[in-house]
Amino acid sequence: MTKTVLTVDDSRTMRDMLLLALEGAGYRVIQAEDGVHGLEVLAASGGADVVITDINMPRMDGFGFIQGVRSNPAYDSTPVLVLTTESDATKKARAREAGATGWIVKPFDPAKLVDAVRRVAA
């Protein structure tokens, strides 16, 4: 069965790059433009096997989005990878406290991203 990955990023270019890398590796990809939209897409799609989210987004940032995902019992064990330009240790700690599974810094290597998704989706 094909695994589904939800990508949440306000940058269309970044969403396109994620789509290309993940679909090329055989994943079904659903996308959202910010945290609010991400929670809507997650609910409407029936969930995802892995979520990849940016931190800095309008309307709802990645921290709020992760907390929203974790507040729903249906998604409390869904792996959430943070993909961001941020590398600050306090932000990483805050993401972990919110429930993030891992942290990847942009720009990303597509092969390493797919490998990380495979590991957390296993």
Name residue 32's amino acid.
A
Domain 4-121, CATH number (from 3.40.1190.20, 3.40.50.2000, 3.40.50.2300, 3.90.1260.10):
3.40.50.2300
- Where do the structural domains in the chain lie, given as residue ranges? 4-121
From first to last of its 122 residues, what are the pLDDT tens digits of the chain? Answer: 799 999 999 999 999 999 999 999 999 999 999 999 999 999 999 999 999 999 999 999 999 999 999 999 999 899 999 998 888 889 999 999 999 999 999 999 999 999 999 999 98
Residues 63-90 have pLDDT tens digits of: 999 999 999 999 989 999 999 888 888 9
